Amino acid sequence: MIHRMLFWCLSLGTFFYIQTVCSKKINFEKVYKSVMYASFLKAEFNYSSFLKRADHTAERYVPFQDTSNDTFFKVGILHKSQLENYTKIRMEDQLGSLKNKPWMPVNEIREEFANCALLKFGSFSEHDFKYDKGMYGWMNIMKFSCAFVDDQFLVFAMAFTRTRFRLKQVILKRQNAHWATSGRSLITRDVQKITEVFTIRFALFVNEKIEDEFRKHQISLKSVDENPMLLKNETFEELAVAYGRLRKHIKLSDSRGHTFSTLAFGIKSRIMMTSPSNAPQAIEAVSDELSDAPLKVLDTCHKDICTYDHMKNGTFNAKTETHTYAKENAFIHTVHPRYSVIAYQKSKPYFTFETMKRKTATGIIDIKQNLDTKAKNLWSSLLDQQFTLAIHVHNQELFPFDKFFMTLDPRN
């Protein structure tokens, strides 16, 4: 089974070359209608594969009080000359009016354009989840992808959703003449369901935008070849080993033993395809995102494949009672003498245990939870599940052998 990203790069490059030679001013509408453009967009921003496997019943089991969100989606093309001094790119031209989107990471997007100049193909995504029992929670999801073709044009697309949510409060026993309420604490299974709900919402939003884009340029989604990435089965198999299969939710009976009042993780995932000669420069461009150990693996790999996966032992802040970790993985595979695939993820997650209340003969006392072996394993399982979710969802075409189905028995 051979897939076609390299073919797509070469074919689209030829297409752009012909267009540039034949016309001093390229017809961008014709570019948008090209099969190569549509193939890139469908491969990177069509989430149908994930949505077919997702558990759409999850939202019924999450006790939301309310949610609010804002979104952004953009597709475009840049000329190479605009990337030569990327700091001068007029972001208003690429993103439109930003008056109603003050939260948009304009400088980060500008940096992504600069990164793309070193690549044949690049994809960057982020899942940012935070929850504070005393306030509210939020989950921001973004994806930015690009393909640089013919040394002339960069095709790019980006999608953002910014969501804030509150969970229903818990009614406690009557205190004096009033009913007492408390913010809702979380178990790890709650986190998995909440993140899945917002990932599904993101996928539905992006799919709708892609369909609008194709309708605008009169492109039939069904006629577009999906996954134009020309990679051998060996590469897919190595990625599956390095990043694992999508994982099911932790069972309720296993998750219930530990509760959290705050919990957060911001997972950044990056996939890059470039020539082996450009790989060191591409790695250097994003070197500030990784610590020394995974960076060394990527920068000094002398084999066809090198991998790294590590979660740093947690540190504890006694003042805030917060446990903080660092988790990273990295992967580099020389697919062909002309192409290398580079992938990595990083996160600095943290949590605070909920302080339990217990009634005794002398009054109400606080019972604190300990970071015992079961709690460590539970936390590690949660992060592993979230890491695989983050990379599989946004890079479905790199994991064609994944057979995971998220439909679960709600009694578990």
pLDDT in tens, 109-156: 989 998 998 888 899 999 999 999 988 999 999 999 998 666 677 889
Assign 3-class secondary structure to the chain: CCCEHHHHHHHHHHHHHHHHHHCCCCCHHHHHCCHHHHHHHHHHHCCHHHHHHCCCCHHHHCCEEEEEEEEEEEEEEEEHHHHCCHHHCCHHHHHCCCCCCCCCCHHHHHHHHHHHCCCCEEEEEEEEEEEECCCCEEEEEEEEEEEEECCCEEEEEEEEEEEEEEECCEEEEEECCEEEEECCCECHHHHHHHHHHHHHHHHHHHHHHHHHHHHHCCCCHHHCCCCECCCCHHHHHHHHHHHCCCCCCCCHHHHCCCCEEEEEEEEEEEEEEECCCCHHHHHHHCHHHCCHHHHHHHHCCCCCEEEEEEEEEEEEECCCCEEEEEEEEEEEEEEECCEEEEEEEEECCEEEECCEEEEECCEEEEECCCCCHHHHHHHHHHHHHHHHHHHHHHCHHHCCCCCCCCCCCCCC
407 part of a folded domain = no
409 part of a folded domain = no
Quick one: pLDDT band at residue 20, thresholds 50, 70, 90? very low
State residue 40's pLDDT score: 85
Domain with 168, as residue range(s), is: 5-398
50 part of a folded domain = yes
User: Lowest mean pLDDT: which of 82-86, 149-153, 187-191, 262-266?
Assistant: 149-153
Total domains in the chain come to 1
pLDDT at 97 over 90: no
374 part of a folded domain = yes
Quick one: pLDDT band at residue 390, thresholds 50, 70, 90? very high
State residue 170's pLDDT score: 74
> Could you tell me what percent of the chain has a pLDDT over 90?
46
pLDDT at 37 over 50: yes
State residue 11's pLDDT score: 44
Condensed to tens digits (0 to 9), the pLDDT of residues 288-340 reads: 999 999 999 999 998 989 999 999 988 999 999 999 999 999 999 988 778 89
279 part of a folded domain = yes
Quick one: pLDDT band at residue 374, thresholds 50, 70, 90? very high
408 part of a folded domain = no
> Could you tell me what percent of the chain has a pLDDT over 70?
81
State residue 124's pLDDT score: 97
411 part of a folded domain = no
Quick one: pLDDT band at residue 225, thresholds 50, 70, 90? low
User: Lowest mean pLDDT: which of 26-30, 42-46, 78-82, 138-142?
Assistant: 26-30
State residue 15's pLDDT score: 39
State residue 283's pLDDT score: 94
State residue 38's pLDDT score: 81
State residue 218's pLDDT score: 79
What is the average pLDDT across 59-88?
86
405 part of a folded domain = no
